[in-house]
Structure 1
Amino acid sequence: MRLAERLAWHCRTQLVPYAALLRGLEGDLRSGAVTPARLEAHLGQAEILLRDLLTAILPDARLLLARLDDEQLAELAEAFWRRNRELREEFLAGTPAEREAEQIARMEKRLRRWFGRLSEEQRALVARWSEALQPATAEWLANRERWQARLLAALAQRRDAARFEAGLRPLLLEPEAAWSAGYRARLAHNREQTLILLAALFDTATPRQRAHLFAELEAWARQFEQLACTPSPLLTAGQG
């Protein structure tokens, strides 16, 4: 029943705020109030919702992870290793010019989902965004691997409930606590540059692109609202 109860909680308390966040963003976009600062405010709201979710699921995550046996733990460690190797090949291989071209291509692909086909002016904005970023990929991957090592160390204590939760809580709720000051500064800079890019892209968007963006936001908001009105099948079955 814990899963059913958690799904019901999420449906009851979280999905409507997700929809409201998207509709608030759409309202700002339609009114022309598109600045990096306004986008930062919406992003901050999304991060608060994410933290609320992680805080709520922490007890369930602890119980689920505590049930892993040694074989499953070994499989998890192997999966971490394989994925990290893939990520290093994907993001760190090649020359700096090749990596920058791939970074631009990844961002353009993400943006096409929301804007449709980009104009040459918009593609130039993406290229300038890429040039303005400070390098953080290698440290991101290193932090990821350190986080995974700490998780595996916490899991080694999973039979001791108090010690396990003490190790798991900061990993889920405060992963940034282990980041260096330099890395935090680079992330903040890159975040600012990305918000500047998004505001500039909207300013240069055609009516067709804006309609595409609004339709995407509306579709996601409507989906969250519809799911929020649907009782959890697991909870309903448990009450029958």
Structure 2
Amino acid sequence: MIRWVLVALTVLTLSACTTMRLGYNSANTLIAYRMNDWFDTSGELEAPARERLDSVIAWHRREELPEYSRLLLGARERFADPAPFTPEQVLAMQKQVTQRLVRTGDKAADAFADLFPRFGLAQRKRVIARMDESNAEFTEKNIDISPAKLRKRRIDDMEDRFAFWFGKLDASQRERIEKWADEAEPSGTERLAVRRMRQTAFLNIMDTGKTASVPETNRKLKAFFADLETPADAGVRERQRKQLQHWAALTSDLINSASPAQRARIQEKIKTMSDDFLTLSRQK
């Protein structure tokens, strides 16, 4: 439940501008559906779960969307500067977004921690079943797949992400993405292991939540979300660092290769999204 609040809000706030307002204004219904799907919040859990969800989304609308708008405007100013981007600057921008993500996780932990003592065997079984389904889907897409198909999907996904901002990519930009895909270390098995490790950690929080104090459960949930930004496991932290650096190098290269028309498009999209965040933040 907590993770879906966090992830869904983040996806909705970073989605395409043309659908963002509609998607964000439907967040309550979307996440409530996913909560019930993952946790079986029907019956006596439905009202308190929905009440807490509504409070988190109201807070996110009021407090976080203006911050996203501010971050975007800062990025727009940087794009107006003709000086080349460095991977370090890209990572600094990404870190600002990740910190907002962790902040949302903290707020969700504050809201939902007192529900954990009310989770029973039905909720645990439902969560395990959904985790298994998610892991099976991940395995199909990232492990049980030929190297050629995996490479193509990575290239297509990355091209789509950059094309949203840049518009049509030129041949040299597509070649750089292909090079990035070829240089990327295979990580499907490692990522699946990390997923399972974090899933086990979450199940432990659910299990101990029956007897632990609400402040203790709250603390564990916040640590769980903080691990997304700074993994406690040294090996996971180092792999994440390398992957982010590889991505940042690609991103800075593509930005620096952008044509004047592409840079203008990026700045316009940033401005539109920033305006949408402010508009959404003022709605009730």
Q: Normalization by structure 2: what TM-score? A: 0.73
Name the counterpart of 1:117: 168
User: Of 91, 104, 107, which residue of structure 1 is paired with 2:155?
Assistant: 104
Residues 50-61 of structure 1 mapped to structure 2, 5 A cutoff: 50-61=101-112
Aligned pairs for 1:14-25 within 5 A: 14-25=64-75
| 2:254 equivalent among 177, 201, 205 | 201
Per-residue CA shift, 1:30-60, capped at 9, x if unaligned? 2124222222221122222222222222121
Aligned alpha-carbon RMSD (Å): 2.2
Q: CA deviation at 1:3?
A: 4.7
**Corresponding residue for 2:239?**
186
| Equivalence map 1:2-81=2 (5 Å) | 2-33=52-83, 34-81=85-132
The question of whether the paired residues in 2 share the 8 Å contact of 1:135 and 1:186 is answered with no
Corresponding residue SS for 1:32: coil
Structure 2: any 5+ residue segments left out of the alignment? 1-50
Instruction: After TM superposition, list the pairs within 5 Å mapping 1:83-162 onto structure 2.
Output: 83-162=134-213
- Counterpart Cα distance in 2 of 1:166 and 1:226: 33
Aligned partners of 1:169, 1:40: CA distance in 2, in Å? 23
Paired amino acid for 2:98: E
Q: How many residues align?
A: 230
Which residue pairs with 2:12 in the alignment? none
1:90 deviation in Å?
A: 0.2
Give TM-score, length-normalised by structure 1: 0.85
Kept in 2: contact 1:19–1:221 (CA 8 A): yes
Instruction: Determine which structure has greater relative contact order: mean sequence separation of CA pairs < 8 Å that are 6+ residues apart, divided by chain length.
Output: 1
Asked whether the 8 Å contact 1:19–1:220 carries over to 2, the reply is yes
SS in 2 for 1:74: helix
State the shift of 1:123 in Å: 0.6
- Return the alpha-carbon distance in structure 1 between the equivalents of residues 206 and 166 of structure 2: 43
Larger Rg: 1
Q: 1:199 to 1:166 in 2, by over 3 A?
A: closer
Structure 1 gaps of 5+ residues are: 233-240
